[in-house]
Structure 1
């Protein structure tokens, strides 16, 4: 069974950009490793060990991101007024006076500080397929709470 990673077009582009940046940095890392190798005894060469480890991390990250793109399922925002991947949602938390706005994104794109909520997070799951005017109950590990959906864009 193949598991596809749902993401927005913007999330896909972010991964492509990171891959490009890492590939651009790879020759520099290889050069650092070669220079460290030329310093002599590798068993006591901390520069060599560090350079080898950093290049390994870069290669590992490239493989990981490549798999993310390979198994990506890009979801375009629907226009039916329901909360879905790619929607921007203005909500009001129970007991709050100020509404907050979040974009519903894929798991890899989620960043609460940047206003991006994963569709599979407790908040994201509760809002999916609902429309403006609905009040949903979020079942979170710390307890449940209600959220009113004010706008879906």
Structure 2
């Protein structure tokens, strides 16, 4: 990635917004189970451990919520994906070494339901980032090193 604000695809934005909504609901449920802290309740160590665990869960949820909000804000600043060079959010058509061609989408989040999605941190995704139409990229696969030619960005 470029180190600056990175664009995000519409599908990637939807996925992050869906995750954010779920995290906010989960956070509200966890927060509701925490004690006020002002009571003189006497509990055993198990109660204290449960309370600490819920506090840790709340911290984890808050951290992820902040990360997603920051990423969505960054994507808003970045604007639309570039059509000059492959980046996060790009749609790119490539020809693989075996002659097959495929249009792929470069994203941040893996999605098992989208066979055309390539994450930016996968071997192919990393190889494609920053390249333009006509460039040949080399990347590692379980079968060994291979190449692909960037045909177009769209």
Smaller-chain TM-score bracket = 0.5 to 0.7
In the alignment, the residues of structure 1 paired with residue 4 and residue 24 of structure 2 have an alpha-carbon distance, to the nearest angstrom, of 24
- Which residue number corresponds to residue 103 of structure 1? 105
Give the RMSD, CA atoms, in angstroms. 3.7
Structure-2 separation of matches of 1:4 and 1:38: 51
Equivalent of 1:69, from 48, 67, 72?
Answer: 72
Distance apart, 1:41 and its partner CA: 1.8
Residues paired across the two proteins, number? 143
TM-score by length of 2: 0.63
Select which of 50, 53, 61 maps to 1:50. 53
Question: Residue 130 of structure 1 aligns to a residue in which SS?
Answer: coil
Kept after mapping to 1: 8 A contact 2:136/2:149: yes
Alignment partner of 1:86 is 2:85: no
Partner of 1:15: 16
SS of residue matched to 1:58: helix
Q: Distance in 1 between matches of 2:45 and 2:123?
A: 49
- 1:90 aligns to what SS in structure 2? strand
**Structure 2: stretches of 5+ with no match in the other structure:** none
Structure 1 gaps of 5+ residues are none
**Alpha-carbon distance in 2 for matches of 1:62, 1:88:** 27
Offset at residue 54 of structure 1 (A): 1.8
Distance 1:85 1:69, change over 3 A: closer
Supply the distance in 2 between the matched residues of 1:77 and 1:7 (Cα, whole angstroms).
5
> Does the Cα contact within 8 Å between 1:29 and 1:55 map onto a contact in 2?
yes
1:26-64 CA-partner distances (Å, limit 9, x unpaired): 2211222339x9984253324333322222211221222
Determine the structure 2 residue equivalent to 1:117.
Answer: 118
- Give the secondary structure class of the aligned counterpart of 1:60: helix
